[in-house]
Amino acid sequence: MRFVIIGAGRVGLRTARVLAEEGHEVTLVERDATTADRAREEGFEVIEGDGSKEDILETAGIEDADALGALSGDLNVNFAACLMGKHHGCRTIMRIDEDYRENIYRKYAEEVDDIVYPERLGAIGAKNALLGGSIRAIADVAQHLQVVELTVTDESPMRGYSITELELPADARVLAFGKHDGPMRIPLPDDSLEIGDRVAVLADFEVLEDVRQILVGQTPIGGR
Amino acid sequence: MTMVTAYVMIKASTGEADRLLESIADIDGVVDAHIVAGDVDVIAKVEVDEPAAVKGIAADGVQNVRGVENTQTYIAMD
C-alpha cells in the first residue's frame, strides 16, 4: 500500500520505519529541514514543507495514497491534512496531543477515520514493564474495557484445568490462547492450562484483578 | 451605540464538548460558539456594549465553566 505521513519526528518516522519494513511505500512530509534530512539519511522520500498545504500533499502523492497519517505535533496541521486526505479518498489517521480530545474528534471530525494518542500506547508499554511478566495489557478497548494477556504460573489455581473449565467473572471472555512455545490462536475447549501458557482475556477493569488471581495466582502485582 | 465584538479562543480539558459548548453559548454576551479542530477547542463570538464587558465575559463567564482550561480573547478592531 501507499502511505503519506505528515511529520518525520519521533512518531512519524517510527511509523514510516514499521510500514517500510513490511514492504509498504511511504512518503514523509516534514517542515523542519534538519528533521527531514535525518529521515532522508534513512532512505525515506521526504517532501520538505507544510503538511497543511495542498500543493505539498500533492507533491507527496496524496492522489494515489491509500491512507494518510497526520502524525506531526501540530494539531492544526494534522487536521488540515486529514481534511485534504479525505477529499482525495484516503483513509485518515490523526495524532492528538491530549487524551480528552479523542472523544471530540471521534464525534465531530468526520474527516478523521481514526485517532492516535501516542502517550497512551507509551503508558500501556510502561505499565506492562512495571507489572512484570505474568500480565500484559494488549489494548484499551474502551474506558473500562481492556484486553490483557496473562501467563499461567505454578501458582495458578486453574493450572491443569481446561479452557472449558475456566470460569471468569463478570462476562470476561477468553479471546485467544497460546501454548508456552507457540503463537496465540483461537482457543479450543480441550486446551489445558499449563505453566507458561498464555491466555488473552477481554475484561472490565473492575474484575481484572479477579481474572489475574484465577489465571496467574495469588502473588500480588509487583511482588512483596 | 457602538458594539464591541470579540472572539474568545477556548482551550478545554474535557471531552464533554456538547456540555461545554452549551454552557458557553448560554453566557450573556456570547452570540455564537463553535467546536473547532486544532489547538483550541471552542471559539466563541462575543458582542457587548463596551470593551470592559468583554473581560468580564471571558474571565468570569467562560473561565468559570467546568472543563475550561484557559482562554485567549481577541477584540475586533474594524
Per residue in B38-53, pLDDT (tens digit) is 999 999 999 999 988 9
**Which residues of B are less than 8 Å from A107 in CB distance?**
17
Q: From the CA of B57, how many Å to the nearest CA of chain A?
A: 24
Q: From the CA of A95, how many Å to the nearest CA of chain B?
A: 11
Q: What is the mean pLDDT of residues A5-9?
A: 97
Compare CB distances from B41 to A76, A102, A104 and report the shortest one's residue: A104
**Which residues of A are less than 8 Å from B38 in CB distance?**
75-76, 79
Are the C-beta atoms of residues A210 and A148 closer than 8 Å to each other? no
Mutual orientation of helices B17-25 and A101-108 as an angle, nearest 10°? 90
Distances (CA, A) of A21 to A15, A18, A24, A25, A90: 10, 5, 7, 10, 21
| Cβ–Cβ gap B17/A108 under 8 Å | yes
| DSSP conformation letters of A85-114 | HHHTT-EEEEE-SSTTHHHHHHHH-TT-SE
Q: Express each pLDDT in A43-101 by its tens digit.
A: 999 999 999 999 999 999 999 999 999 999 999 999 999 999 999 999 999 999 998 89
Q: b or e along A35-61 (b: 16 or more beta carbons within 10 Å of the residue's beta carbon)?
A: bbebbeeeebebbbbbbbbeebbeebb
Are the C-beta atoms of residues A30 and A56 closer than 8 Å to each other? no
**Which residues of A are less than 8 Å from B17 in CB distance?**
103-104, 107-108
Compare CB distances from A100 to B14, B38, B39 and report the shortest one's residue: B14
Size of interface A-B (CB pairs under 8 A): 32
Compare CB distances from B15 to A97, A104, A109 and report the shortest one's residue: A104
Complex prediction ipTM: 0.76
Q: Express each pLDDT in A100-152 by its tens digit.
A: 898 899 888 989 999 999 888 787 777 767 766 677 778 777 778 889 889 89
Domain span holding position B28: 4-75
| Cβ–Cβ gap B35/A108 under 8 Å | yes
| CATH number of the domain to which B12 belongs | 3.30.70.920
Mean pLDDT, chain A, integer: 89
Domains of chain A (ranges, CATH numbers): 2-118 (3.40.50.720), 127-215 (3.30.70.1450)
Are the C-beta atoms of residues A173 and A218 closer than 8 Å to each other? no
Q: What is the mean pLDDT of residues B59-68?
A: 92
